[in-house]
Amino acid sequence: GENVEQHPSTLSVQEGDSAVIKCTYSDSASNYFPWYKQELGKGPQLIIDIRSNVGEKKDQRIAVTLNKTAKHFSLHITETQPEDSAVYFCAAKRSGYSTLTFGKGTMLLVSP
Amino acid sequence: NAGVTQTPKFQVLKTGQSMTLQCAQDMNHEYMSWYRQDPGMGLRLIHYSVGAGITDQGEVPNGYNVSRSTTEDFPLRLLSAAPSQTSVYFCASSSRGDLNTEAFFGQGTRLTVV
């Protein structure tokens, strides 16, 4: 089955800095890679996703890059703000499958 | 829009007790799943369903039962609670197909087994 590794487990940055979270996956047939943000006491919420036919996708301050050959993808957050503080999860899924395989999560702390 | 609704939000059980965690979605999604979240372990799949009447086991199914009698509901049953089942439980739903695959999560149920 699929295995998703996520690093780092914790990340502390100053407000305004950039933050990068990296994930690797094992199943070369995976073709959908979402990123979820989980705020304290809430369920995970999708913030951005990318499919295997695309190398990069941006949405305002967040971007995701995908390297299919190396089987890794990354989340980039620029100009971080205190409200970006949360746990971030990467995930992977194969076409036709109904469930996601998640990484173990990254706790991002943005200090004012 | 209600989305995915989980009840209860908090629950304390004694070892050996049984209970059912409720999950309902109003988006007419075919796929539903249950995850547990433990510190440092991420989200691990317990059971999932691809449609009414169809369920299957995930990564950590032991000690849990599920059923899917309707599209909207996917309850998770603990038959005899154990301290190892202390966790936060999340239900998720998504639609079938490759174009619209976002998974929507409920707010979670925090379960403590003493």
Is residue A62 over pLDDT 60?
A: yes
- Look at residue B9 in the predicted model and tell me its pLDDT: 96
Task: Give the DSSP H or E segment for B31.
Answer: strand B31-38
Q: B residues 12-31 near A, CB within 8 Å?
A: 30-31
Q: With beta carbons less than 8 A apart as the criterion, state whether A95 and A53 touch.
A: no
By C-alpha distance, the chain B residue nearest A41 is B107
- Look at residue B82 in the predicted model and tell me its pLDDT: 97
Query: Alpha helix locations (H) across chain A?
Result: none
Confidence of residue B2 (pLDDT cuts 50, 70, 90): confident
Is residue A69 over pLDDT 90?
A: yes
Confidence of residue A1 (pLDDT cuts 50, 70, 90): confident
Return the closest-CA partner of residue B79 out of B62, B64, B66, B58: B64
Query: Pairing relation of β-strands A10-14 and A106-111?
Result: parallel
Q: With CB atoms and an 8 Å threshold, state whether A98 touches B96.
A: yes
**A-chain residues near B30 (CB < 8 A):** 98
Q: Which of A45, A49, A99 sits opposite B48 (nearest CB)?
A: A99
- Look at residue B98 in the predicted model and tell me its pLDDT: 64
Mean of per-residue pLDDT scores for chain A: 95
Gap between the Cα atoms of A24 and A6, Å rounded = 7
Q: Which of B38-42, B71-75, B94-98 has the highest mean pLDDT?
A: B71-75
- Look at residue A54 in the predicted model and tell me its pLDDT: 81
Q: Which of A44, A98, A105 sits opposite B48 (nearest CB)?
A: A98
Token pair listed for A29 = 């047939």
- Look at residue B56 in the predicted model and tell me its pLDDT: 96
* Nearest-neighbour CA in chain A from B11: distance (Å): 15
Is residue A94 over pLDDT 90?
A: no
Which of the two residues, B20 and A54, has the higher pLDDT score?
B20
Is residue B51 over pLDDT 90?
A: yes
Token pair listed for A76 = 């980039």
